[in-house]
Structures are given as C-alpha cells and as structure tokens.
Structure 1
Amino acid sequence: MMRRYACVWFPDWSMDRLRRARRGQPISCHSEKPDELPFILTEQGVTGLRVAAANASATRLGIGPGLRFADARSRAPDVQAEPVDRGADAAALEALGLWATRWTPLSAVDGIDALRLDITGCARFFGGEGALLNDIGERMAEGGLSCRIGAGPTPGAAWALARHGASRVNVCRSDHPVEEALKDLPVTGLRLTENAERLLRRFGLTRIGQLYPVDRTALARRFASKEAANAVRFRLDQALGLYAEPLVPLRPPPDYAARRSFVEPLISGEGITAALEGLAETLCDHLEQDGCGARDFTLTAFRSNGSASFVSLSTARPVRDAAHILRLFRDRIERIDPGFGIDLLALTAARPDTLETEARPLSADLAPGPVDRVALAALADRLTARLGEGSVRMPRAIASHDPARAEALAVFEGQEEDWDDAVLAPRSDRPARLLERPEAVDVLAEVPDGPPVRFIWRRVPRRVKRADGPERIAPEWWRTFNAEARARDYYRIEDEEGRRYWVFREGLYQDGRGGPPRWFVHALFA
C-alpha cells in the first residue's frame, strides 16, 4: 500500500492560539474590538525586537512576521503589542496533535505551526481521502483556526503543497506523479535554509521543477560547498520519495482500536457508558479473531471544541472480556469532562498477548491448585482501577537467610512464580509477619550465649517462661561487606502470660566488633 501523508499548516497559529485562549475576552487590554485595531506579537531577534505575528488590521498596513518592531510602529503608531508565548504555542499544538488522532493514530508536530498526519488506510473510514481532508479543514475552521492542507505520497510533498498550493486543500493523487505536482511550486517548498534559497534564486532556480535536470556535480559547483549542494538534493529527494522520512507519532499507535462517532455530541456520563459497551464488544471481537487478549486499554473522548480527554488502565493478565473491561472503566468515566460535547469515542488496546484459557473447576476439591488465578487477576484489576496503578502488591520470595530480606513486595502483574512453595508454605519455625523494623528491648537478666530471662519491651517488664533456639544468622558478606556487621542469634520465647516473641541478640560476646550485644524484638507469633 502506498503511503499517504497530510500536512495541516496554520499560517496564523500564534495569533489563532491566543484568540482561542482568550475567547470572550479582548486580545489587547486597550481594545474591545481586537480585529479593528492593529495588534502584533513580538519576539526578540538577533538584531532586536521583531514582529512574530500580526492580525488582519496590522497586515493591511504592511506589517508582517520578520518586520522590525520600530518599523511596525512607524507604519501604525497606535499598534498594540505583546510578547509571543512560544511555550504555550508548542503545548497547544501538541494538544491539537493528540486531538488529531481522531483521523489517524499517527500524528506528529511539524515545526512550530503545523501537524503531520500519516493517513495511509484511514480515508476509507471517512468516505474517501477528499472527504477526510475536508473534514479536517471544516473542524479546524469550527475551532477558529485558519489552516491550509496538503496531501501527497511523501511528508515533503505534503509540506510543500500545504504552503504553496493554489487552494486551501491541495492534493497530489496517488495515481499522479509527485514530480508533476511539485514542479511549479517555489523552491521554498523544499524546507531549505535562507542562504540556500537565496543562492538558488541568484542562479535563476526559483521553481522545484528546475532542479530536476540539474546533476549534483553541476549544483555543487554553484554552491560554496559540496555539503550545501547535497543538502538541497537531499531535501528534493525527500520530497520525491527517494529518501524515507520517518514520522515519530505523539502517541504510539495502538494494536487494536474501536471508534464510534456521534451526530449529536454526548454531554453526559450515561451516554459515554452506553457507547463504551458497544466499543468494548467490538474491540473484544477483534482480539478474539487473533486469539489474544490485551493488558493496556485507553478510552479517548474527542470533544467538538478541538480538545481531547482520555483515561487509561492496565490489567494484571491479558483479557478480552467486554463486561470486565466495562466494569474497570466505570469508576473512571467520571474523570472525562464532556465540555461542549463529545462527537467521537475511541477505545484502544495495547500490549496484546496470548490469552490463557482455563476451565473453571466444579468445586474447590477438584481445583488443580489452591489459587484461582483468573479470579485473583480479576480482583487485582478491580482494586487497581479503584485505588490506582501499583497499589496491588504481592509478596515475592528472595533467596536469603536474612528474614528482613527473605521477602519483598512487588506490583502484582498476574505472574505467580514459585507461588505455592514461597508464599503459601512459609517456614513453620518463623512468624508469618515481621515488625516494620526491629524494636530494641532492655534485658534485665540473661544467660551468656542464651535467651533473656527478663526483659522490658514497650515499657512493660516481661518474664520468660519458655525459650527455644538459637538460630544463628551470619551477615551476608557477599552482598555488602561491612567489617562492623555482627551475627544474630534468634530465639522463640514465651512469657508468663502466654505471649510468644521472636527476638534476637545482635552480636556475640567478645566477637571484637563493638560493645556488648544488643537485644531486639523482630516479630510476634500468632
């Protein structure tokens, strides 16, 4: 399939963006009718303050981008001005590029005032390429944005047609040679530097078609350097499709997607929920055809005012159950603000993987294992949807004799390696849970190299009735060597009231590694 690209160029982007941001307010604080008085945006240049953008009134007076601010004031003494906000312009253009994914999943920002869209295979969903491009232009105009559109087999051709085509929408058809479509356009359509354009005009090369018969050797003789001549040919080859020009999309394209547009925009959460049911079923049908499920789902709402809102979620295991997906999104739909109305909804799925199907046992006695992994993953998904990403964690066994390192909490991702051995069957001579950190105790009486006889913990004196141990655990020198690290002797003890503790003595008498040993409570037995 031949690639097709569209370039949407906004000639007055900075001014249009500011007008949209201050909708309902005058652009200039000194004017209640900003289009009647000249108004400009300025930017600091190499040689001083220059005009970055101008409204219609200023343009009629000969004020345009690149003009020095002093010259603009001489032509229109009452001109109003304020600095251009390039950061806000870039952020708004990126947001508009994300909204443009309503037409294609491959959209990118092109410079400071244009969008590049890969519309390959997308035209059939809109009634043809012409209808697609017209829809883009109409929706931009509804949002208060003036734009010109070019479409062709290469990004360079689309860029040139958008800026130098004869009409608002200029198309190089797939059955039409791109060389023929570009030959009458000026060389400024090749995205060259100002110096290169100036040299080409000096040599009488003002049209792109005039460069076709010129070979590289002859072109290099006219330029000061071979690199400059190669840059001109390189841009020409990109426009003609001889060199590929990759597009880096704002958002990675989804593996699966389902979309639905609405004649009457949605303005309530109930309408979004009803539409999501059909989208989830359609998406799951696509997944079922490939025999797989997905783990990342995103619901994107495209508003009629040119903005978009989306919510995402992830599942522990690949799923393709429409009811389960709808249940997970139900608590997040309220985060979508319909604004002036939603005219298109898209549900996308990423990270597809083979879906493991397991037959549900008739009873717990016939289950192959003690854990229903499908039900556990579904529970984790619901908790994650309610509490947030990374909130569901499961213990993971670590090969270590140190009880503080023998177990760690990891985000549950639907995998239970060594589940039965490591988690469901812990050591019976150790407590199931440890204190957050060992708590020091004051030993009132102890037997050398033995358990304490009396100790004070949490301001309460306790007398030991029974004791078992020790279990000696030496420092793990192969992890982090520390000459001051000391061995631990763990004891299971019980006081006169029947409470059982897991205590340890840190250090041995006369081990040469510090002062006398210290005692700690590390856990309690149930």
Structure 2
Amino acid sequence: MFDGIQRRVVSLWFPRLASDRALRVWPLAGPFVLTRKEQNANRIYCLNPPASAQGLEVGMAYTDARAFCPDLQSRGADPEGDQRFLLALRRWATRYCPWVGLEGRDGLVLDITGSAHLFGGEAMMLEDLQRRLARAGLSVRIGLADTRGAAWALARHGQQGRNGHCSIAEAGQMLAALAPLPVAALRIEPQVALGLERLGLRYIRDLAGAARGPLTRRFGPGLLRRLDQALGQQPEQISPHTDPPHYGVRMTLPEPIGLLADVMAGTDRLLRQLCSKLKTQEMGARVLCLTLRRVDQDQQQVELRLARPLRDAGRILPLFERGLGEMDAGFGIDQLRLEATVVEPLPVEQLSHVSDGGQDRLDDLISRLGTRIGLDNILRFLPADSHIPDRSFVLAPAAYSQPAGGWARHQPRPLVLFRPEAIAGTGPRPPQRFRWRRMSLTTGRASGPERIAPEWWLEDENWRSGLRDYWRVETREGRRLWLFYTPQNPGWFVQGEFA
C-alpha cells in the first residue's frame, strides 16, 4: 500500500523486439530472422512469427535453418541498436506514468499506481497501450499485478486473456493468479527451476505450499525471496531509468537583433546558464553548437571545438567571436540556442596559489587555431618507448593528448632527424673527410660508438641492414652531425643534426 492506494505494476515484454525493429525499417513478407555469430557459428538471434511457424528457434545454426526453410530471409543483428530502441520506448511509455524502468534487454516495467484513472481505468489503459504498440508494428505481452515479480511472471508465462496479450491479476490476489504458472516464472536461474521440477515442484502453488527450511538449505535464500517478492510479502523497488542530462539552453528575443555586439551579449547569457548546468554535473564541454534563427525562419550554426573540456564562460565566449563575425543576420535574429553536443567529465580541482595559468592559455590558443585549420591538424610530439631513433616519438593531436614527460635517454639525441643519407667512408671509425649535401666537411671530434640493434619483432625496411653504430661528429666547419656505420653491410650514413 502507498498512502492508502493499492500499488499496481505493469510489465511489458517484447518477445520479438529485435526482429520487429528490423522489419519496421525493411518490411518483408515471409520467414525472417536476425543472425549473430556465436561460438564460431552464425546463429539465429531473433525471428518473426512466420519463421517460428516453420519450426525455427532462437539459437539454431543459420545453415540448419536454411535447410528447414529455403526461402528464409535474414539480416545481421544489432544489439546496440535494439537497446537504443528500447530506451526510446521507455521515454514513450512515460506518457502513461512517470515511473518507467528497464526490464532486461527486451522489457519495461511501469508503476501505474494512481495513474490508471487518467485513462479511464486499468483495462482502458492497457488497451490503449497495446493498440499503440500494435500500430507501431511491435508484438508485446502485458502483465498487470500488485508486484513487479507477479507482473513479470504474468507477462511472460500468463495465459492469453480476452484482452489480447494481457494477463491481469486482481488486486490482492497474487497467489491465485500465480498458482498455475511454472516455477520458472519467479525469475530464478534455470538450474534452480530444473532442480525444483525434479523434486515434483513444477508450479508456483506447489512451491508456496512446500516446507521453506529444506528449500532454503538446498537452493539458498534467493528462491524464497523471489517468491515473497512476487506475492508481495517482501518489497521490491522499481528504479526509473533517468534520461541523461541535456546540456542545452535557448533564448527567444522580443525584438530581432543583428549587431555582432548584441549577438555576443546573448551568447554570453546562454553560456553562463550552460556552464552553471555543466558545473552542477561536473562536466565540461568539448563541442558547442550555437544556432541562430532568423526572422525568415532560416537557421545558421556556429560550431566550436575546444582543445580541453571547459565550463568557464569567460574563456569560451571570445572563441565564438570569429565564427559569429562571419554570420549573415539577414533581417534579424530572434532566437539563440546553445548546446554542448559533446561533453566530458571535468571534476572540481583544488586551485593552487602558484598556478600561472600557462596551460589554460595554451589550450585557448589551440582552440583558436583549431577554429581556423581544424583541431586534428595541430599535432604534438610525444615520447614513445623505443630505443630506435625513428620510433622514439609519435605524433598525436594536441587537443586529444596531454604533454608527456621528457625523453628518457642515456645518450643525447639530435634535434633534427631525417632519413639516412649515404656518405663516402670506409672502416668502423668516422671518415676524416667526407662530402654531405654538397658540402665538404672535416671531422674535428667524434664520440661513440653507440650500438643500436633493430627491433626484430617489427617489420621495418629501414633497419634491414641490421646493427648500427652511431657516432656524434663535430666538424671543423661547425656542423654537429649524427652518423652511423652498418657493420653487416659496411657503409656510412648521416641521420641527424644536433643544435
């Protein structure tokens, strides 16, 4: 009971949710199945009634199904798409009551306590619900009872009544409604249901009249807890599935505006509202979309991609100036809508008195440049765990990476690296005189060698020659070069230059 009102719960089960959704997009006649690869075989994931009439079942190998039904049509399953569709159904079901939750991957649960009278009673509510779902091409089974467990059992195991695929338990009569149902209707594990059947407890009425002590010792407390929940002797909550926060704000203007200063002022107001909402959720915006509606109903958008998640209106507002300056206000703008289309977690951080804000200024600079050339085109060098010079760094977009620590090297590396360029030389020591890039150079001082072996587990054409002995050579002409010698195939090369 809840404030003197009898609690009533509706369970919606969509036994063919995946195939119904697919057939809404691609209408087909005849047997149809959705397949998914499981255990190295393509198996049936969901099927429509004509396919069931041919003797096909979920889990059957697709090759066997084609043997039974040569005219079978199929498509690949999309469980993620089915889940998104179920979430959309959940939002739609809130038209009947505010408390709607998910029930597995193919069901919904509704707490309609105090809501049925708005639709003329329980029977008319269920009739309206079933009619609308049938019009949408969805097959559904409905259970109505005082408890979540009883509604679940009636939806999946109840007998089809005169109200179509609806099974209704009268208020306060849970045991009478559940008595003829199999024990599997109590949401227990298949192994437990099989064990009860071997003991002769096939139906809920048999289980309700059995001694509780031996059942608890053999099957654990979960079995009787499910029974008590279904009968209403133990409470069970219905947790409504909440929609994710929507990070969007809108402002409709009493008079059209067209000056850049006015649009910036309106954007500032929207940004402060949006950033307040982001701060409450400890989130930061990565992509913002500002939509301007003109009086002629034309819309223009300014998209801003940020180098880091932000919720500081003062830092974000100047970044909109360039994009808004290129907008055509026409005969005036009467509505502004700002939405954070991509957000990331941005927890609160402890501020320090020694912080100089250098990183913030760099992030703002990257964002400004990104509005002109694209964030993906601004790259930074990051250290890589490799002793080979060519692989000691990686290039990563600066907006989606953090500066890493310095390169951990026991030997100095040149500031500039390039492809190996051959020079004339013999012997394992650097040549005294050599010609490089049309320059005649004389070795003044050389230090080395530093032997570097190739990474044998990686294929690299540049290291097919094997070992390399690297030398740091200072020439009398002022050049400080990085040379290496290949012992297996004798030869000298220049690969870098020190500052």
Distance 2:475 2:111 in 1: 73
CA shift in 2, pair 1:169/1:324, >3 Å: farther
Corresponding letter in the other structure for 2:136: G
SS at match of 2:346: strand
Q: Report deviation, 1:434.
A: 1.4
- Pick from 140, 145, 150 the counterpart of residue 147 of structure 1: 140
Q: Is 1:463 matched with 2:443?
A: no
Distance of 1:185 and 1:281 partners within structure 2: 61
Q: Distance in 2 between matches of 1:455 and 1:144?
A: 80
Q: 1:506 aligns with which of 444, 460, 485?
A: 485
Write out per-residue CA displacement over residues 35-62 of structure 1, whole angstroms, 9 at most, x where no aligned residue. xxxx556899xxxx9x96436xxxxxxx
In structure 1, distance between residues paired with 2:111 and 2:389: 58
Question: 1:319: Cα distance to partner?
Answer: 1.4
Q: 2-side partners of 1:142 and 1:134: how far apart?
A: 12
Where do residues 343-358 of structure 1 align in structure 2 (5 Å cutoff)?
349-354=343-348
Out of 396, 417, 425, the residue aligned to residue 382 of structure 2 is: 396
Aligned residue for 2:420, secondary structure, equals strand
Once the two structures are TM-superposed, the CA of residue 96 in structure 1 deviates from its matched residue by 1.6
RMSD: 6.6
Shift of 1:443: 0.7
| Equivalent of residue 474 in structure 1, options 450, 458, 465 | 450
Q: Contact 2:216/2:224 (CA < 8 Å) preserved in 1?
A: no
SS at 1:287 equivalent: helix
Tell me how far apart the structure 1 counterparts of residues 369 and 129 of structure 2 sit (CA, whole Å). 41
How many Å apart are 1:346 and its aligned residue? 9.8
Q: What pairs up with 1:231-250 in 2 under 5 angstroms?
A: 233=224, 236=227
Q: Which residue of 1 aligns with 2:284?
A: 294
Match of 2:13 among 2, 6, 9: 9
Contact 1:17 1:89 in 2 (8 A): no
Indicate which of 422, 437, 440 corresponds to 1:441. 422
**Letter of the aligned partner of 1:521 in structure 2?**
V
CA contact (8 A) 2:286 2:310 kept: no
Deviation at 1:375, TM superposition (A): 1.0
8 Å contact from structure 2 (residues 150, 230) kept in 1: yes
- The alpha carbon displacement at 1:20 in A equals 1.8
- Match for 2:448: what amino acid? R
How many Å separate the matches in 2 of 1:204 and 1:375? Answer: 70
Native 8 Å contact 1:294 1:352 kept in 2: yes
1:156 to 1:43, Cα distance in 2 relative to 1, 3 A: same
What is the identity, as a one-letter code, of the residue corresponding to 2:492?
W
TM-score (ref. length: structure 2): 0.51
CA distance in 1, matches of 2:358, 2:207: 74
| Count of residues in Structure 1 that have an aligned counterpart in Structure 2 | 387
Q: Is the 8 A contact 1:398 1:408 kept in 2?
A: yes
CA distance in 1, matches of 2:367, 2:482: 39
* Deviation by residue 1:120-160 (Cα, 9 ceiling, x = unmatched): 9xx9xxx9xx9x99998687455322334558898745532
Instruction: Check if 1:373 corresponds to 2:362.
Output: yes
Q: Give the Å deviation of 1:372.
A: 1.9
Cα distance 1:15–1:316, how it changes in 2: closer, same or farther (>3 A)? Answer: closer
Confirm or deny that 1:162 pairs with 2:155: yes
Q: What SS class does the counterpart of residue 354 from structure 1 fall into?
A: coil
Q: Distance in 2 between matches of 1:346 and 1:118?
A: 31
Name the SS of the counterpart of 1:472 in structure 2: strand
- Cα distance in structure 1, aligned partners of 2:169 and 2:422: 83
d(CA) in 2 for partners of 1:448 and 1:454?
14
Letter in 2 for 1:490: R
Sort the Cα spacing of 1:220 and 1:401 in 2 relative to 1 into closer, same or farther, 3 A. closer
- SS for the counterpart of 2:347 is strand
Change (3 A) 1:136 1:403: farther
Q: CA deviation at 1:489?
A: 1.0
Q: Does 1:186 align with 2:218?
A: no
> Unpaired runs of 5+ in structure 1?
29-38, 56-63, 70-79, 262-275, 300-312, 331-344, 362-366, 424-428, 508-512
- The structural deviation recorded for 1:81 is 8.5
Question: By how many angstroms is 1:293 displaced?
Answer: 3.6
Q: What letter matches 2:446 in structure 1?
A: P
Paired residue secondary structure (1:378): helix
1:77-116: CA deviation from partner (whole Å, max 9, x where unpaired)? xxx98437484375663342354474699986846xx235
Structure 2 residue 498 is the aligned partner of structure 1 residue 519: no
Equivalent pair of 2:452/2:467 in contact (CA under 8 Å): no
Q: Quick one: distance in 1 between partners of 2:145 and 2:341?
A: 29
Q: Contact conserved, 1:258 with 1:282, CA < 8 A, in 2?
A: no
Identify the match of residue 115 of structure 1 among 107, 121, 131: 107
Distance 2:100 2:340 in 1: 14
**2:151 and 2:270 mapped to 1: Cα distance?**
33
Displacement of 1:488 in angstroms is 1.5
Which amino acid letter does the alignment assign opposite residue 519 of structure 1? Answer: W
CA distance in 2 between counterparts of 1:447 and 1:43 reads 69
Deviations 1:271-312 (A, max 9, x none): xxxxx999987653222236x44367799xxxxxxxxxxxxx
Give the deviation of 1:504 after TM superposition: 0.6
Which residue of the partner structure matches residue 337 of structure 1? none
Alignment partner of 1:94 is 2:83: yes
Contact 2:375 2:397 in 1 (8 A): no
Task: Select the residue among 211, 215, 228 that pairs with 2:211.
Answer: 215
Correspondence for 1:83 among 72, 91, 110? 72
Q: Which segments of 5 or more consecutive residues in structure 2 lack a partner in the other structure?
A: 3-7, 36-43, 57-68, 251-266, 290-303, 324-338, 457-465
Contact 1:295 1:319 in 2 (8 A): yes
Question: 8 Å contact 2:186–2:230 — kept in the other structure?
Answer: yes
TM-score, length-scaled by structure 1 = 0.49
Distance 1:181 1:378, change over 3 A: farther
Kept in 1, the 8 Å contact 2:31–2:48? The answer is yes
Return closer, same or farther for 1:417/1:350 CA change in 2, 3 Å cut-off: closer
**1:470 counterpart letter in structure 2:** A
| Structure 1 counterpart of 2:473, one-letter code | Y
Q: Contact 1:493/1:503 (CA < 8 Å) preserved in 2?
A: no
Q: Decide whether the 8 Å contact of 1:220 with 1:230 is kept in 2.
A: yes
Aligned equivalents of 1:505, 1:214: Cα separation in 2:
86
Q: Amino acid of the residue matched to residue 394 of structure 1?
A: R
Q: Look up the SS of the partner of 2:435 in the other structure.
A: strand
SS at match of 1:144: coil
Question: CA–CA distance in 1 between the matches of 2:363 and 2:309?
Answer: 10
